[in-house]
Amino acid sequence: METVRVERATRASRVFAVFALLGLAALIAMPWWSDDAGNMRLVGEMAYYLALAQLWNLLAGYAGLVSVGQQAYVGLGGYTLFYLTGVWDMNVYLAMAIAGPFAGLISIPVSFAVFRLRGAYFAVGTWVVSEVFLLFASLIAVLGAGSGLSLTPSILREISPERDTRDIILYLMSLAISVFVFGVVYLLLRSRHGMALTAIRDSERASASLGVNTFRTKFIIYIATAACTGLIGALIFLQKLRISPEAGFSINDWTVVVIFMVVIGGIGTLEGPFIGMLIFIVLRELLADYGKYYLILLGVIAIGIMLKAPYGIWGWIIQRFDLQLFPVGRRLALAPTEEPAASVPKI
């Protein structure tokens, strides 16, 4: 008689986890082994793009909510930070801690409107909401109206009076927030909510008939994603020192590239956004001199992937090699017993 064990990790994932932790340690230590401030800025940018991609992937790839309006929360987080520190003189760390949850709060009434729509209509609906945010920001005087706001210089001194230290702190914040967001997404997907999401993604009706509360699950995911996106938005504009309606709520900067990262890397997988982000950064750096061609190329690649390999690069790798580096599923494993069995049934 065999006994059966439920396992979470695979051998590949354990090996990968070791490398990942080593890599993370190296990145954290980067300010001390690399002199180039440009490197830190780039890695910091990669970190927050990765976080945005993980969040959009959670929303669209797992919960089936294809939003083209997440830039609403990026801008909202940024404006909240600037408003609280500029008009209310709040401590910058406190302001950041508020920016995230505040975005989550605003997403609640938003969801009442957009959840009325499904599929592609939901997508355009979220876009309308972000346009509304943009227009409000450009009309309200205390938010700087059309020209936006600049970060009060004293805020930067609050972080650190020295520029180099400040850059390091901002860089480490970027890494920390990215790891935090990834942790939230990963733990969510490993939990019962995660299984509910996968079930919903596979068949909403079937899972509803089994008692999965699809509306509440999606609702929670939407709020959580909005809150994390708001936090990232605050971080982004803290580093940019200025915010304006066009920049804060830019669909090109915060949604188009994020969607392409997820789609090219592999939607509905945790590994996909990493790959997509790396490809995007490489393409952007390579094509930096060619104006908007890299966006065109991104568009062409995304269309090609959607038609030929809809599960992205990582999806293709999974199919070929049955590999999973971030295990979220559960596998059954046979544990051997003392007496040799006459025939072992295959799983």
Partner 1 sequence: MTWVNIIVQGALLGGFYALFAIGLSMSFGIMRLVNIAHGDLIVLSAYVALVATWYTGFDPFLSLVIVLPVMFALGYLLQRGLLNQTLSGGLLPPLLVTFGISIIIQNALLEGFGAQDYRLQEGAVETASLQAGGFYVGVYPLLIFAVAVACIAALQLLFYRTRLGRAFRAVSDDADTAELMGIDNRKLYALAFAIAMIFTALAGVFFGIRTIFAPSSGPIRLILAFEAVIIGGLGSMWGTLIGGIVLGVAQAVGAALDPTWQILAGHLAFLAILIIRPSGLFPRTRD
Residues at the site binding partner 1, with contacts judged by CB under 8 A: 60, 64, 66, 68, 112-114, 116-117, 119-121, 123-125, 127-129, 131-132, 135-136, 139, 251, 256, 259, 263, 267, 291-293, 295-296, 298-300, 302-303, 306-307, 310
- In degrees, to the nearest 5, what angle opens at C-alpha 101 toward C-alphas 97 and 106? 140
Q: How far is the CB of 105 from partner 1 (least distance, A)?
A: 18
Distance CA 257, CA 262 (A): 9
> DSSP string covering 179-244, please?
HHHHHHHHHHHHSHHHHHHHHHHH-HHHHHHTT--HHHHHHHHHHHHHHHHHHHHHHHHHHHSEE-
In terms of CB distance, is 83 or 127 closer to partner 1? 127
CB of 53 to partner 1, least distance (A): 14
User: Least separation, in Å, of the C-beta of 282 and partner 1?
Assistant: 19
Residue closer to partner 1 by CB (options 116, 331) is: 116
Give the tokens for residue 205: 């009706």
d(CA 243, CA 234): 10
Which among 56, 28, 32, 20 has a CA at the least distance from the CA of 229? Answer: 56
By beta-carbon proximity to partner 1, the closer residue of 63 and 99 is 63
Q: What is the CA radius of gyration of the chain?
A: 22
Q: Cβ 120 to partner 1, closest distance in Å? A: 3
Q: How far apart are CA 265 and CA 281, in angstroms?
A: 12
Indicate the residue among 23 and 299 with the shorter CB distance to partner 1: 299
Closest approach, Cβ 302 to partner 1, in A, equals: 5
Q: Which is nearer to partner 1, 76 or 98 (CB)?
A: 76
Cβ atoms of 156 and 82 within 8 Å: the answer is no
Question: What ranges in the chain are assigned the alpha helix state H?
Answer: 11-28, 30-33, 37-56, 71-86, 92-114, 119-139, 153-159, 163-190, 192-202, 204-209, 214-240, 245-248, 251, 257-265, 272-286, 293-308, 312-321
Beta-carbon contacts of 337 under 8 Å, excluding residues fewer than 6 positions away, are: 1, 2, 3
In whole angstroms, how close is the CB of 67 to partner 1 at the nearest point?
A: 11
Q: For partner 1, which is the closer residue by CB, 172 or 306?
A: 306
Q: Closer to partner 1 at the Cβ: 84 or 114? A: 114
Comparing CB distances to partner 1, the nearer of 19 and 290 is: 290
The four Cα atoms 264, 259, 279, 191 give a dihedral, to 10 degrees, of -80
CA separation for the pair 92, 159 (Å, rounded): 8
Instruction: Find the shortest distance in angstroms from Cβ 292 to partner 1.
Output: 4
Cβ 285 to partner 1, closest distance in Å? 18
